[in-house]
Structure 1
Amino acid sequence: MTDDNGMPEAPERLVADAKAGNWVDTRAPRSARPFLRLSRADRPIGTWLLLLPCWWGLLLAMLHTGTAGWFDLWIALGCSLGAFLMRGAGCTWNDITDREIDGSVARTANRPIPSGQVGVRKALVWMALQTFLSLLILLTFNSAAIGLGFLALVPVAIYPFAKRFTYWPQVFLGLAFNWGALLAWTAHTGSLGWPAVLLYAAGIAWTLFYDTIYAHQDAEDDALIGVKSTALLFGETTPRWLRYFMVGTVLLMGLAVVLAALDRSVLALIVALGGPWAMGWHLAWQQRSFDATDSGSLLRLFRSNRDAGLIPVLFFAVALLL
């Protein structure tokens, strides 16, 4: 087989930070594996981190209105499918724009584009397909949510370039990855509200927390090739900054809960407030366990944020039942 330039395709290469024995490497058709790796299907943590703010927004919206219907099940499912597809499209776009940088970083050198497994033209087609399928899901929501869905493309498009001009690319990642909190809230209520905005801000603080941990894996390579990150900016002061982001996450989410559930029962409000509080304990454990010199530990801490983000989902769901 040949690539877009008529050259023989490079042999299959496994990606450094994918879990050993993942389904893409072991079960997916060989011809599909490079495209699934472009979408990070072999590393589902990113899909979780994109999806969880959607579920936060939906559950808080239901708690706020005191209503729940069958369409809310579709919102939850649609957000799940959309998170997988849009995360895949965003990662494909990221790999297209970063193909030269990725080839210079040890952790990313084996990604499909820099390693020659997928050409840029095929990657663009793959990105367009995922985006189109996401659009079909988005069009089932109300008009306000559809409008927000289109606006979400702005931070997604900008993010891959942010590390070239700012030490805060994680802010742009947070703007993109937490948009679902706004969209899911609006899909249920029909309009934006302050609880959704505060929840969005909490998600951005959370993204700054977990992606700073993640960025420390590449700090040395990033410094050599001249790209920026909060890991490089903070250096040895990272634990202190992680504490700031942790506190911001908990306070902003707590305020969102208060505004959303103020008209509900006292018990429901207390239970819902348990979500950010318990999540804060998980983030505090991560902050105490942070070791910038241990790449394996950094990756494990980053992945543990799926569990951290699921904690508010559990508490909000219980509060809704009350």
Structure 2
Amino acid sequence: MNQLNAYIRLTRLDKPVGTYLLLWPTLWALIAAAQGIPDWSLLVIFSLGVIVMRSAGCVINDYADRKVDGHVKRTNSRPLVDGSLNEKQALAAFFVLLLVALVLVLFLNYQTILLSFVAVFLATLYPFMKRYTHFPQVFLGAAFSWAIPMAFMATLETIPAVAWWLFSANLLWTVAYDTLYAMVDRDDDLKIGVKSTAILFGRFDKLIVFILQLLMLACCFQAGIMLSLQPVYFMTLGLSLGLFIAHQVSIKSRERDACFAAFKQNHYVGLLILFGLVVSYI
């Protein structure tokens, strides 16, 4: 039972916010591509794929950070740090999850199968980027957004321009909210030499996060125009802007708990936009 709990913590199944942040944009793409309710089989495959790939990403992230997580307040009790699991068990879990993801994607068309290799590459690469660049959040954004062109390809057997607007929106949004996440660990990361956009942006962190959020909403607005969506969709973008402004107020002093809370609340933005999309097609 203790080992099962360790695997749950390793894959973050006990912390679903990351899954939501990956799931909502994937559903945006499926609904937009189908111009309404997507095929139920695609909903099941992509939803399960989100859970599996997010879990795999968490596992390889912990493996990559196994030497440094013990020096970071937020991560010093993770399974590879406290000894609940060892490196071989983590790698075995990672490859099992990739195998499950492969089985899922084999039910899709061959074009989407080819795109899935890019998803695996990005998910595997991201955790190691924080050692070499201040932009690991960009790699995470690409990894978290790649399900969008995949969803369009699985539905339409092509990737229209609107898919790339949604891809860009999600990439910008991911960099913004993961910068908030990195702001929580910034003091510890500076000590151990881990890089992030939070460190790179320095005292301009809040401003740049807000600019990224505005650009994200602009991309979503353009996608809505291209899809001829109803006013309710654009109202959800306005509500999202209100939430972003509230976050700017809450993180004014850059307190760890406030930054972490703002990060977690970002999934409500994804849910709001999903609601606007669904209602637009009713």
In the alignment, what sits opposite 2:108? 141
Greater C-alpha Rg:
1
How many residues were matched structurally? 282
| 1:78-102 per-position Cα deviation (integer Å, ceiling 9, x unaligned) | 2221111111111101111111011
Matches within 5 A, 1:267-282: 268-282=229-243
2:263 equivalent among 293, 296, 302:
302
Counterparts of 1:160 and 1:104, CA distance in 2: 17
2:5 equivalent among 33, 38, 45:
33
Letter paired with 2:67: E
Counterparts of 2:159 and 2:40, CA distance in 1: 20
SS at match of 1:164: coil
Contact 2:28-2:274 at 8 Å conserved across structures = yes
Counterparts of 1:292 and 1:155, CA distance in 2: 33
Contact 1:275-1:316 at 8 Å conserved across structures = no
1:161 to 2:133 alignment: no
Contact 2:3-2:85 at 8 Å conserved across structures = no
SS at match of 1:99: coil
1:311 to 2:278 alignment: no
| 1:175-212 per-position Cα deviation (integer Å, ceiling 9, x unaligned) | 00111111112211111111111101100110111111
Counterparts of 1:303 and 1:76, CA distance in 2: 24
Counterparts of 1:196 and 1:81, CA distance in 2: 21
| 1:51-96 per-position Cα deviation (integer Å, ceiling 9, x unaligned) | 1110111111122xxx645xx2222222221111111111101111
Cα distance, 1:291 vs. partner? 3.7
In the alignment, what sits opposite 1:9? none
Contact 2:134-2:195 at 8 Å conserved across structures = yes
Over the aligned positions, Cα root-mean-square deviation in angstroms equals: 1.5
In the alignment, what sits opposite 2:173? 206
1:238 to 2:205 alignment: yes
Identify the range of structure 1 (105-114 vs 269-278) with the bigger mean alpha-carbon deviation: 269-278
In the alignment, what sits opposite 1:20? none
1:283 to 2:222 alignment: no
Counterparts of 1:68 and 1:307, CA distance in 2: 21
1:61 equivalent among 33, 37, 40:
33
Counterparts of 2:224 and 2:68, CA distance in 1: 41
Counterparts of 2:211 and 2:86, CA distance in 1: 41
Counterparts of 2:137 and 2:145, CA distance in 1: 12
Q: Tell me the TM-score normalised to structure 1 length.
A: 0.83
Counterparts of 1:237 and 1:269, CA distance in 2: 36
1:92 to 2:38 alignment: no
Counterparts of 1:291 and 1:161, CA distance in 2: 30
Identify the range of structure 1 (107-116 vs 280-289) with the bigger mean alpha-carbon deviation: 280-289
In the alignment, what sits opposite 2:182? 215
Q: Tell me the TM-score normalised to structure 2 length.
A: 0.95
Letter paired with 2:31: L
What are structure 2's unaligned runs of at least 5 residues? Answer: none
| 1:113-147 per-position Cα deviation (integer Å, ceiling 9, x unaligned) | 12211111111111111111111111112222222
Matches within 5 A, 1:6-25: none
SS at match of 1:152: helix
Counterparts of 2:117 and 2:224, CA distance in 1: 27
What are structure 1's unaligned runs of at least 5 residues? Answer: 1-28, 262-267
Greater helix proportion? 2
CA change 1:46–1:68 in 2 (3 A) is closer
